[in-house]
Amino acid sequence: MDQFTLNLIVVGLTFALYIGIAIWARAGSTAEFYAAGQGVPPIMNGMATGADWMSAASFISMAGIIALAPAGGYEQSAFLMGWTGGYVLLALLLAPYLRKFGKFTVPEFIGDRFYSGGARLVAVICLIIISVTYVIGQMRGVGVTFSRFLTSENFTVTTDTGLYIGGALVFIYAVLGGMKGITYTQVAQYVVLIIAYTVPAIFISLSLTGSFLPQLGLIGGYAPTGGEISMLAKLDSVVTELGFKAYTSDSANMFNMFLFTMSLMIGTAGLPHVIIRFFTVPKVSDARLSAGWALVFIALLYTVAPAVGSMARLNLSTTFWPGAVTGTALSAPALSIAEIDSNPDLGWIRTWEKTKLLEMSDKNGDGLIQYFSEPKVVADAGKALAAANKALAEAAADADKAPLEAAVVAAQTAFDASLTEGKLGDKTLAELGFKGNELTKVDNDIMVLANPEIAALPGWVIALVAAGALAAALSTAAGLLLAISSAISHDLIKGSINPNISEKAELMWARIAMTGAIIVATYLGLNPPGFAAQVVALAFGLAAATIFPTLMMGIFSTRINKEGAILGMIAGLVFTSVYIFLYLGWFFVPGTNVYENVPANHFFGISPLSIGTIGAVVNFAVAFVVSMATKAPPQHVVELVESIRVPRGAGAAQSH
């Protein structure tokens, strides 16, 4: 059976499972549609939260981001700590109290606690910006996975077709089952994605470190030379020999790494689609426990990811420099093109070259592919040469080409000179006979997607990775869509437009809102705004600067009033978005940025990705000062706060 058929069967089986669950778990009431009837056991909710939280980015991209970061893998630990540490904040500071409050949406709590429809509306706006930006990436992830795995010689699923299939599938189980359908599908999706992630990781860990557990492999010895030298030390020595920064080297900007980690943590705790998962458990104590179970299931992937990242990087380096397995990289010739084409174990290189995730070019024509980091002088001269060539190629047919040709010749001379200057170790590139890095592109995603093939695993594991990537993207998309549709049907329609709406009518509106949200998400996935990658920064920054501080103050203070909360949220929103826009362009329109987005231009070295932490401080400060200057909240609000602080009576407060 060929790989394509196998992929099709495994993906098809998982989809059939999701649809079966959807039919079994239909929602009959608004309580079931918004909060799965508040009857989900904590372990199951933990699993669903794991799938809800771990997106296409966690599954496909994170290990590669860590593996290939130019500043080294250590600095990227911000993602590992940030995207898990937020659950401590959720369990201690938010989840139990919001469960006790016992209603369905995050804006609803903000509206009731701050006795203000205005506060609720500001929260709805923040929620929609956060969730819509997030869902675009998930829909793209679905489309891209389809196009990579479900394509054969005579049959092609384009990214667009993949998107329609994904949208239709989410439509079936989200519209039919609401939170109930989504919850039980997410449980199944979690199982698929965690098996798909860990099986290849175990094999790569066994082959590189002899350790069955990738977590132990990360700190284990390098097996091919008997385990004397640690895997990380081996990785450091290979990559530094090839001119890259050491994998474990310190962060260049510790202050920014601190703020970035904090921003991801409080952003995680403030993401509405994660918070609403804790509305589905029966009791307050279950909400605390459930956050723990969620982190157990998330940690299974997040503690494996750095092992996958470092080992895949080492594997990639030793594949292209066979000498590095037992000695130094440059002690033997680089991998030859003939070897790539004849050795079946290296078939993955050509496979992934077709998808453009990997690109090679034999610049010096020696039939070998030299992979290294070009010294700065060579890289700069190479860029200048490429620019000169481009100018010549783009010149109008009737233009005078002589000066452009002269420029190319001059740039070529400068480039050749740079080769005698730039060094790898103690030899210049000219002495080594290199004309530049020949593995010209290695996409982050390949570190996970090609892992089973690099480790020469059987075809069903490759098919499982395809199903796992789809499960990760679909489960997160469904959670986000529910957060969006419940904000529309519950907060906007029932909350402000028509408070007297019957439950049956509200349920219908919830389904209509879900349908609308899926159509918009699919459309945005098909036509992603050019800024799709940047807006993720905005989503985390805004969740950190708006929702998290407001919820926390609502629970831990009885003195913060509606004026303070509204102005605090607006201050956090405006401060954070303006700082991001200064570097990424006003409303992300390219070319309208005030400063170039390079570390040298950042205020106090704070990158736009890390600004959410400062935005949260601004929110807290404004809310405190304004509240002190204005009237204290009314007595019934003080009583509300006191009642959510004690667990007793959680069952009675629900469903109205």
Partner 1 sequence: MADKSSSNAYWAANIRLITLCLVIWFVCSFGLGILLRPALEGIRVGGADLGFWMAQNGSIYVFLVLIFFYAWRMNKIDAEHGVEE
> Under the rule (CB under 8 A), what is the footprint of partner 1?
73-74, 77, 80-81, 84-85, 87-88, 91-93, 96, 215-216, 218-221, 230-233, 248, 250-251, 254, 257-258, 261-262, 283-285, 288-289, 291-292, 295-296, 299, 302-303, 306, 642-643, 645-651
Cβ distance to partner 1 smaller for residue 218 or 492: 218
Max Cα-Cα span within the chain = 85
CB of 560 to partner 1, least distance (A): 16
CB of 35 to partner 1, least distance (A): 17
Pick the closest to residue 626 from 581, 566, 578 (CA basis).
Answer: 566
* Of 92 and 574, CB closest to partner 1: 92
Least Å distance, CB 556 to partner 1, is 8
- Residue 479 CB, shortest distance to partner 1, in Å, is 20
What is the three-class DSSP state of 100?
helix
Cα–Cα distance measured from residue 30 to residue 52, given in angstroms and rounded to the nearest whole number: 21
**Distance between CA 122 and CA 566 in Å, rounded?**
7
CA atoms 287, 288, 293, 299: torsion sign: positive
> Is the CB of residue 125 less than 8 Å from the CB of residue 545?
no
CA 137 to each of CA 50, 57, 185, 517, 524: distance values in angstroms, whole numbers, following the listed order? 18, 8, 20, 15, 9
Comparing CB distances to partner 1, the nearer of 96 and 568 is: 96
Neighbours of 365 (CB within 10 A): 7
DSSP track, 422-453: -EETTEEHHHHT--S-SEEEE-TTHHHHTHHH
Nearer to partner 1, 266 or 478 (CB): 266
Q: How far is the CB of 300 from partner 1 (least distance, A)?
A: 10
518/551 with CB nearer partner 1:
551
Please return the burial class of 70, using the count of CB atoms within 10 Å of its CB with bins 0-12, 13-18 and 19+.
Answer: exposed
- CA atoms 121, 127, 130, 131: torsion sign: negative
Q: Which residues contact 533 (CB under 8 A, 6 or more apart)?
A: none
- The least distance separating partner 1 from the CB of residue 105, rounded to whole angstroms, comes to 23
- In the complex, the smallest distance separating the C-beta of residue 447 from partner 1, rounded to whole angstroms, is 15
Give the shortest CB-626-to-partner 1 separation in angstroms: 24
Q: Which is nearer to partner 1, 4 or 258 (CB)?
A: 258
Phi, psi of 221 (to 5 degrees): -90, 160
Q: What CA–CA distance (Å, rounded) separates 626 from 622?
A: 6
Q: Provide the minimum distance between the beta carbon of 297 and partner 1 in the complex, in angstroms, as a whole number.
A: 11
Rg (CA), the chain: 27
